[in-house]
Structure 1
Amino acid sequence: MQVILIQDVDNLGGANELATVKNGYARNYLIPKKLAVEANASNLRQLEEKQKVKAKKEAAMLAEINKVIAVLKESPVKVSAKTGTSGKIFGSITALQIARAIRDQKGYEIDRKRIHILDEVKELGTYKASVDFGNGNTTEIEFEVTGE
């Protein structure tokens, strides 16, 4: 029997996927627990409509991500830090500081957990960081550490 999964089911598939299971498993477990519905013509049309809406949302999200990437690559983000007389900074630059600098200078809110600094930052200069937007979309940005 073919069913359309409403929720993720272990060892079977994810939500909004078509799955073939035995009749008893579908009628006695999946359908009563509202994990799946029978794959009839009406439900298949609804599934196609959901997939079209999902594709449109993903295309819009990808366009927004590309727009953000273009803005981030325009110019380096400036991050200020307290420094000693020799140009070494006290402590090091963190992803939180970079996220705040991006928010203040570029106007985009990026979660600090998505920013990965490639090199250890202990001195003034220009460095690179990687930003992961999810779905395989990553980019490298430059940030410049300046003294306060």
Structure 2
Amino acid sequence: MKVVLLENVKNIGNKGDVVEVKDGYGRNFLIKTKKGVIGNKENIALAEKEKIAEIKRIEEERQEAIALAKKIDETEITITERAGEDGKLFGSVTSKDITEILEKEKGIKVDKRKVELEMPIRNVGRIEVKIKTYQGIIGNLTVVVKGEA
């Protein structure tokens, strides 16, 4: 029996796949629990259209992420914090601070969890911060930390 899967099923296939399963498993489990529909011509054609649309959507997201990464590469932000004479900050600059200033000054909205800071910035200087925009796509933001007395 051919079944078009409506969601990922372990050891069977992924959403949109047309799989061949035993009649009982298809009728009594996949179709009954709405994890799949009968694999007739209409359902197979519909599944293929949805797969193509999904691939296009993913590619558009990827292209937007590449454009955002290029914009981040060209961006430099300045953060002024209180610091001692030796250049150490009294506080620290966190990924949350970076994303807030990036959105406020440059209009670039990024989730703070996408900012890859191993530890908060605690010294004055110029730092390259990596920001993940998509799987495998990273933009390098230049952060200039200035101290004030």
TM range (shorter): 0.7 to 0.9
> TM-score by structure 2 length?
0.86
1:77 aligns with 2:77: yes
> TM-score by structure 1 length?
0.87
Corresponding residue for residue 55 of structure 1: 55
Corresponding residue for residue 23 of structure 1: 23
Aligned pairs for 1:1-148 (under 5 A) are 1-118=1-118, 121-148=121-148
Q: How many residues were matched structurally?
A: 148
SS of the residue 1:133 aligns to: strand
Deviates more, 1:130-139 or 1:71-80: 130-139
Contact 1:82 1:147 in 2 (8 A): yes
Q: CA deviation at 1:45?
A: 0.9
Deviates more, 1:111-120 or 1:46-55: 111-120
Deviates more, 1:18-27 or 1:91-100: 18-27
Contact 2:94 2:120 in 1 (8 A): no
- Percent identity (aligned): 26
Q: CA deviation at 1:60?
A: 1.9
Deviates more, 1:25-34 or 1:126-135: 126-135
Distance in 1 (alpha carbons) for counterparts of 2:107 and 2:23: 54
Is the strand fraction higher in 1 or 2?
2
Q: What amino acid is the match of 1:117? A: L
Q: What amino acid is the match of 2:144? A: E
Deviates more, 1:70-79 or 1:21-30: 70-79
Go from structure 1 to structure 2 and tell me whether the alpha carbon gap of 1:76 and 1:119 turns closer, same or farther (over 3 Å shift): farther
Contact 2:130 2:139 in 1 (8 A): yes
What whole-Å deviation, never above 9, does each CA across 1:31-67 have from its counterpart, x for those lacking one? 0111111222111111111122112222221221122
Q: CA deviation at 1:119?
A: 6.0
CA RMSD of aligned residues (A): 1.9
